[in-house]
Amino acid sequence: DVQLLESGGGLVQPGGSLRLSCLASGFTFSNSVMGWVRQAPGKRLEWVSVISADGRTAFYADYVKGRFTFSRDNSVDTLYLQMNSLRAEDTAVYYCVKELAGSGWAFDSWGQGTLVTVST
């Protein structure tokens, strides 16, 4: 079974940094496009970033571009989301997601989510 296990969430002050990790198992990680999707409390889903299978190309939503960096280590089946200059509006549950191959970023597997709270 596909498993995506996020970690690294927590409380951070505005302007601070946090690094999320996602450990993947149950599928060929190095062949899969992966991403992060977030959801603020009571709000709609919102994409954050998507990375190619080989890790060479990452795409970012405008509201995180220049502040977040998405990377992956295919040798340990792990994703990383480095989040800098955090703002209150970044408060959300962050989900690690796997793309259904060739589907145009339809995500067929989701982690349980990790909560990031940006507050004083």
Partner 1 sequence: EIVLTQSPGTLSLSPGDRAALSCRASQSLSNNYLTWYQQKAGQAPRLLIYGASSRASGIPDRFSGSGSGTDFTLTISRLEPEDVAVYYCQHLGTGLTFGGGTRVEIK
Contact residues: partner 1, CB under 8 A: 44-47, 50, 61-62, 95, 100, 103-108, 110-113
CB of 33 or CB of 86, closer to partner 1: 33
CB of 12 or CB of 61, closer to partner 1: 61
CB of 13 or CB of 45, closer to partner 1: 45
Minimum distance between the CB of residue 30 and partner 1, rounded to whole angstroms? 21
The string of DSSP letters for the chain reads --EEEEE--EEE-TT--EEEEEEEESS-GGG--EEEEEE-TTS-EEEEEEE-TTSS-EEE-TTTTTTEEEEEETTTTEEEEEE-S--GGG-EEEEEEEEPTTSSS-EEEE---EEEEE--
